[in-house]
Structure 1
Amino acid sequence: MIVSDAMTCQVRTALVTDRVSLVMRIMLGVRVSGLPVVDGHGALIGIVTEGDLLRRTEIGTERRRPRWLEIILGPRRLAQEYVESHSRRVGDLMTTNVLTIDETAPLVDAVDLMEKHHIKRLPVMHQGRLIGMLSRADLMRVFLNAMPREEGVADIPDADIRAHIYQEMLRHPWITHSAIQVEVTKGAVDLHGVVTNDVMRHALRVLVENVPGVVSVKDKLTNASLITGDI
């Protein structure tokens, strides 16, 4: 799956000259936590988010520090913070070092970027032009669409379910598949054997629950660490 499969195409934007109050109304109206900021030609030049609007003098949330710390920070830092808490123009508050991603990039690359930089959204670009936004909500939407349908799973033979479980187990190096036995009766799975820790026990349950046709999982596994005293 690539970024364009998940992104929101109809993007609301803010102009660098827009008033902060207008941008707040837009964000509340369309229920988004950030807006890309463009210039008069539509080129992306920044992004303004809820985080940029937290420190405001109107609601008494501007930064306050002891005098000695203000001296250490210096006038440049204090002046910038004054602008951020008092300015009514988006251009003074927005983040200008904007991370973006191309529409053809694998979706996993976008998630890696969002996770690494602790951001909630990414502007999506096509040949240097803003064409969409990818947010955490978009990822949730494609996740739901990708979930396998459960209709008709009762028709899958037990032998096929069992074979599928073993195939999945072979794909993962954290499973000692020779130590696990699987029994399937009318879609109900019993797991027997030995695992080395409870994390593996939980992971095996999750693996089996994701196999089509499985209606329940009964854990009859033995935790070897409880026998040997290892953790």
Structure 2
Amino acid sequence: MNLVLFDLDNTLLAGDSDYEWGQFLIAKGAVDGPHYEAKNKAFYEDYKTGRLDIYAFLAFALHPLATHTRAQLDAWHAEYMETHVKPMITQTARDLVNKRLDDADLVAIITATNSFVTAPIAREFGIPYLIATDPEEIDGRFTGEVAGTPCFREGKVARLERFLEAHGTHLDRLGSSWFYSDSHNDLPLLEKVQHPIAVDPDTVLHAHALAKNWPVISLRGDQHA
């Protein structure tokens, strides 16, 4: 069995879906604009520099899900897909996904961004599996809490192991495994797969990839799907 994993933000997307969802909520007046924007930017900088407190971030990011109805959130998300997400998808990214869907047994997006934000994006790419941070949901409403292990850093490895167990296999038993990512935050999982691939990497991952002779590719381009 062959496994292909894609990180989402700044890998398949030419941007960050979590950050852009926050900016969308600000534009909608769904959150306190100046305060939320400052916190959104601060957490994003912490992520890029490897200092992110994932639980503090999730308390911030998941709170708006608990303060609006699911119907309202779904309506906003449909608009957000058109205005923010689709412009971040290049044809190069779509072409790579389609190629890997044709030649791999299991293809999944694995992302720290919560599954409410990312599930429709996975569907847009036609990727059948999503491993993401799960917001807790009770009786059809989000609580603002995280359910289970956040899919971040070592948590991505733990979440992948559970995913593979559910499919009757393990990383060590796979024929081949690939992981495409832009971020040094994903080094714990990149070091576990047989074929780590750096995609438009940050400076830390770029240096690490060069030292390890990992492939470095770009999915950026002028043409959007």
The TM tier, using the shorter chain, reads under 0.3
Per the normalisation by structure 1, the TM-score is 0.23
When normalised by structure 2's length, the TM-score is: 0.23
If each structure's helix is expressed as a fraction of its own residues, which one has the higher value?
A: 2
